Amino acid sequence: MTLTTRSTDVVEIGLGPVTIQDLVDVARRGHGVRLTDDALVEIARSRRRIEDLAADPRPVYGVSTGFGALATRHIPHELRTQLQRSLVRSHAAGSGPEVEREVVRALMLLRLSTLATGRTGVRPEVAQAYADLLTTGITPVVHEFGSLGCSGDLAPLAHVALAVTGEGTARTADGRLLPAADALTEHDLTPVVLAEKEGLALINGTDGMLGQLALAVTDLDHLLKLADIAAAMSVEGLLGTDRVFAADLQALRPHPGQATAAANMARLLADSRIVASHAGPEDTRVQDAYSLRCAPQVAGGARDTVAHARTVANRELASAVDNPVVTLDGRVESNGNFHGAPVAYALDFLAIVAADVASISERRTDRFLDVARNHGLPPFLADDPGVDSGLMIAQYTQAALVSELKRMAVPASVDSIPSSAMQEDHVSMGWSGARKLRRAVDALTRVLSIEILTAARGIELRAPLHPAPGTGAVVRAVRERVAGPGPDRFLAPEIEQVVTLAASGALVAAAEHEIGALQ
Q: Closest Cα to residue 233, out of 277, 295, 167, 303?
A: 295
Closest to 347 (Cα-Cα) out of 150, 152, 215? 215
Distance CA 251, CA 257 (A): 11
CB-CB neighbours of 232 under 10 Å:
32
DSSP H helix total and E strand total for the chain: 20, 9
61 is catalytic: yes
CA 234 from centroid of its chain's CA atoms = 27
Question: What secondary structure letter does DSSP report for 189?
Answer: P
HSE toward the beta carbon, residue 47, CA cutoff 13 A? 18
Question: What is the full DSSP assignment across 313-350?
Answer: HHHHHT----SSEE-TTS-EE---TT--HHHHHHHHHH
User: Which residue, 206, 186, 201, is CA-closest to 132?
Assistant: 186
If you count them, how many residues does the chain have? 519
The Cα 283–Cα 326 span in angstroms is 70
How is the chain split among helix, strand and coil, in percent rounded to 5? 55, 5, 35
* CA–CA distance, 104 with 97 (Å, rounded to integer): 13
DSSP 377: P
| Opening angle at CA 224, ends 20 and 23, nearest 5 | 10
- Count of C-beta atoms within a 10 Å radius of residue 192: 21
Closest of 340, 247, 237, 345 to residue 291, by C-alpha: 237
Sign of CA dihedral 115, 121, 124, 129: negative
Strand order in the sheet with 177-179: 139-140, 169-171, 177-179
Q: Which residues pair with 35 in a beta bridge?
A: 13
With left for phi above 0 and alpha for psi between -120 and 50, is residue 62 left, alpha or beta? left
- Asked, as a colleague might, if the bond just before 493 is cis with ω within 30 of 0, I would say no
Q: Is the peptide bond before 324 cis (omega within 30 degrees of 0)?
A: yes
Helices 154-164 and 124-136 cross at an angle (nearest 10°) of 90
As a whole number of angstroms, the distance between CA 519 and CA 517 comes to: 6
Tell me if residue 192 falls in helix, strand or coil: coil
Q: Are 156 and 431 in contact (CB under 8 A)?
A: yes
Provide the annotated active-site residues: 61
